[in-house]
Amino acid sequence: MKTKNTYQKLFSPQSIAIVGASNKKGKIGTIIAENIFKLGYNGKTYLINPAYKFLGFKRCYPSLSAVKKEIDVAIICVPAKFVLDVVKEGMQNVKNFVIISAGFSEIGAEGAKREQELIDLAKKNNLNILGPNCLGFINPIVNLNASFAAGMPKAGNVAFVSQSGALIVGLLDKAKEEHMGFSNVISIGNQMQVDEADILEYLAEDKETKVIGMYLEGIKDGSRFLKVAKKVSQKKPIVILKAGKTEQAQKAISSHTGALAGSDEIVDVAFKSAGIIRADNLDDFFALLGLISFTDAPKNGQMAVITNAGGAGVLATDAFKNKEIALMEFSQKAKENFAKQLPSESSVHNPIDLLGDAGADRYQNILEMLKKENPGSTICILTPQQQTPVEEIAKIITSVKEKNKMSLAAVFIGGERIKNGVLHLKQNNIPNFSNPESCVRALDQYYRWSIFANEKTDEQKYAANADCKKIVSNIIKNAREQKRGALSFSEAANVMLEYGIDSGSFWIVSADGEKPEIKEFPVVAKIDSDKVLHKSDKQGVILNIKNSGELEEALKALGQNFPGEKVLVQPMQQKQVEIILGIKKDDIFGPVIVYGLGGIYTEIFHMADFLLPPMSEAEIKKQVLSGKIRFLFQGARGQKAYDAEEFSKIIKGIMDFALENSDIDGFDINPLFIYNDGRKASAVDIKIII
Ligand code: COA
């Protein structure tokens, strides 16, 4: 069983072996051995290579077992075909392995077989294996570089985890320039066994780590990852740069809603649900890691901005649009005090304009006075005018931040003239942005994370309803036995009823069979067949039938066009608002509920949102009330609000259905009519593709 300390020995070992250590210039075994020896690691080290008795002055062992002592971790850099034997031979005295070697699942069937053998071995013998096909790891806190990346990054509080080894190398190089320090740098390679969720769990407990940055291409087990990430996010921020698309080919016929949900949007929703901060690109990623590493999260959403450039202040003001954080309103007293310290042309409103000739004293005075106003964070903007003492201002900002323990970020705009000032900021842990927009965006993301971390979210568990599951699986089984591709309307309506979703009254008839006793007109007649899924396109729907004579005609016409098929007759409901609801299966995160504005404008307005089950009804309602179609439930333009509670119950029903019937191929309700006059919502058309 994995415990808190499972990976402690792997990533912070007291003894380490290098299998495949060498002295031949440029070989990976040589580079890793040199990195471990020359960069200050103090633990015990063992070189393993049967070709040598000594490497330099250091003894070399023919195998791991020949060391005859427990070793915390072995770094393996021999060709893939030898790796299994090395692990088998060494597992008596080593439990943790890092496999640098390439040549596993990433190369196809032969490599996948090798990888599977290793997985089986690890499982059976309780081993932890990082990689294969990875760069290794670096723990700057103990001066251990167990990778073939060059040098030792500065020690600090950022943990960086990457699926790409090459990206680590680039990032570490840039980090040097940014003066960013690391607690861990981990290359996870094929994540054959130790995966990104395991590493998150480890880093959550690592006291040196304040922020976790991840570069991910794929996610191994989406639902486990989200569960772990959600827990970890409550403790420390996770920033992820996610590359790669996961779009599953859409089965156009099966579901209309599928097309509304791009896989990348689902990643957004999934990350948001777990409190993960998503970076859009590498620059963003760096900016976020720098901000979080260097300063505290905004204490509240009210920001103060000071600037020596009016234009930059305007840009900053614009940047707050659609953000959770806002420019704060200063108290009258504060504004009077600011005014006493500034020339009369200055603006004492937020952003405070210190004017172009501002020296360090104006920055200092205002920053000190701002303390009383208790801003969530303060943004200090500077452009280098002729008389601007850039470095002096950088020093003042640093000392005021230190003294007052403020959450603060700088935006020094310029190039050559601000170089030394920016260097001073970086050396003294002040996050600096090259423009106000990036700064405001990053602070906003940091703030949203802090709200997530402070909200106690219950773990959403789904309790299956055995009776309902049995009834529904019998209906689906029966249809499958009849080799049908979809449920009929009456079957689908019965399934939905089990989940509390009503389809109103209806009759199923055949063109030449008995006619229903219908007293209330108008009605609608539709073909109810798994072979005709898009009925309107194929003239399978006749609307506004006003009496039994017209119904007779309609049934005849449908019978001629679709011989032998059943016909569904429903009251012609007066529509108010049409909603579309569906389930999209995401490769990574499983079923995703899609809901939005239906009708003819569905695709044009793209007013759809996505929710990841399981969720409680209360949580669904919260999302509905903040989603794209929230206006319906808020009573826009004097209209009576639609019932958010009823709608959330319907979504909950669909979530439960999705979780209990993960093997269905497609689902949508299109349309669901909702009303704001007391009438119950009604699923007018339901497709369940099996
Ligand atoms: N135990 C210990 N040492 C062994 C061994 C064993 N069972 N079998 C072989 N060795 C030694 C060899 O004698 C050799 O020593 P030498 O360099 O002094 O001659 C050393 O291990 C390495 O073996 P070699 O056959 O020379 O392989 P290599 O160094 O050319 O390549 C890898 C080994 C692992 C680097 C290579 O196979 C590989 O996978 N490269 C890609 C790595 C990569 O890109 N990873 C992903 C990064 S993101």
**How far is the centre of ligand 1, averaged over its atoms, from the C-alpha of 115 (Å)?**
17
**How far is the centre of ligand 1, averaged over its atoms, from the C-alpha of 142 (Å)?**
26
Q: At residue 2, does pLDDT exceed 80? A: no
pLDDT tens-digit series, residues 277-336 = 999 999 999 999 999 999 999 999 999 999 999 999 999 999 999 999 999 999 999 999
DSSP state of 94: B
Contact 39, 145 (CB under 8 A): yes
The CA distances from residue 36 to 32, 189, 414, 433, in Å, are 6, 20, 40, 35
Q: Strand pairing of 590-597 and 577-586?
A: antiparallel
pTM: 0.88
CB distance 47 to ligand 1 below 6 Å: no
pLDDT for residue 535: 67
In angstroms, rounded to a whole number, what is the distance separating the alpha carbons of residues 649 and 373? 43
Q: Hey, which residues does 240 pair with through a beta bridge?
A: 214, 278
pLDDT tens-digit series, residues 491-521 = 999 999 999 998 888 888 876 667 777 888 8
Q: How confident is the model at residue 548 (pLDDT cuts 50, 70, 90)?
A: confident
Residue 671: is the preceding peptide bond cis (ω within 30°)? Answer: yes
Q: At residue 256, does pLDDT exceed 60? A: no
Ligand 1 pocket test target in 49, 105, 163 with most atoms within 8 Å of CB: 49
What is the mean pLDDT of the segment spanning 63-80?
97
pLDDT for residue 353: 96
The CA distances from residue 401 to 152, 376, 428, in Å, are 29, 13, 10
CB distance 207 to ligand 1 below 6 Å: no
Q: Which two tokens stand for residue 204?
A: 């959550």
List the one residue out of 673, 664, 619, 666 whose CA is nearest residue 642: 673
Position in ligand 1 atom list of the atom nearest CA 77: 34
**How far is the centre of ligand 1, averaged over its atoms, from the C-alpha of 474 (Å)?**
57
Please provide the average confidence, as pLDDT, over all residues in the chain.
Answer: 90
From 56-60, 403-407, 596-600, 613-617, the region with the lowest mean pLDDT: 596-600
Q: How confident is the model at residue 638 (pLDDT cuts 50, 70, 90)?
A: confident
In this structure, the chain runs to a length of: 690
CB distance 311 to ligand 1 below 6 Å: no
What is the mean pLDDT of the segment spanning 154-160?
97
CB distance 49 to ligand 1 below 6 Å: yes
Q: At residue 4, does pLDDT exceed 80? A: no
pLDDT tens-digit series, residues 340-364 = 999 999 999 999 999 999 999 999 9
**How far is the centre of ligand 1, averaged over its atoms, from the C-alpha of 19 (Å)?**
8
Q: For the residues of 474-494, what is the DSSP string, one character each?
A: HHHHHHHHTT-SB--HHHHHH
The CA distances from residue 510 to 514, 548, 569, 576, in Å, are 7, 15, 10, 30
Amino acid type, 217: E
**How far is the centre of ligand 1, averaged over its atoms, from the C-alpha of 3 (Å)?**
32
Q: At residue 251, does pLDDT exceed 50? A: no
